[in-house]
Amino acid sequence: MIRSNPSPAGAADPSGRVFVVTGAGSGLGLATTTALARRGAHVVLAVRDEAKGHRAAALVTAEQPDALLEVRRLDLADPHSVHAFATRLRTDGPHPDVLVNNAGVMAPPRTLTPHGHELQFAVNHLGHFALTAHLIDLLAQGRDPRVVTVTSANHRRARIDFDDLTGEHAYSPMGHYNQSKLANAVFALELHRRLNAAHSPVRSVLAHPGYAATGLPRAGAVGGVRLLFGHLLRPLAQSPAR
């Protein structure tokens, strides 16, 4: 079932639960962190830029002084960083109840990671895939555990080109963004199927936040996408909190 603009008051009680939110330094990730902190959740802000993460945490605690927040570095484009992040949670805690796979890159010039993956596919999908795999057994021990994967309705415009995942032969900034969002959707649906088959307590759910006025289209997008989504259509966007 898909609900439009669900009320946070109708959601499961997050108080006392541990949420890991990737990309929590700004935009939807910061809005998610703020909403959870207001309701008593313990939030781990998983961010590539720790200084930005601490600034985000300060914004939340200025409003909610008793917020339970931790800032930890996570570079989803680097498998070693993903492994180190998960290992620290495993050894030092806190053990997560919910993983929110939110962080994303949108429509940059063609860029390869040091491991040779196209940047959007690496950050939006592969990094979250690996992070989920590292944490799934910890999540299974949690309270009302789930994996929330943020996708986009743009996945409907996509296909996965398995013969050219890196865009070496034909790269489209938005096309490869859409491809990464389709990968998110396929991953979360297959994870749902496998968890059910294994009678796991963990639930896999997908979220489509709609067109929100975040910094994502402006952060690294190429000119046309930045102009359209970052400026011309921005008045039509909803706020990240919405």
Alpha-carbon distance of 50 to 203, in angstroms, equals 29
Q: Which residue out of 85, 121, 177, 187 is catalytically annotated? A: 177
177 is catalytic: yes
Among all residues, which ones are annotated catalytic?
177
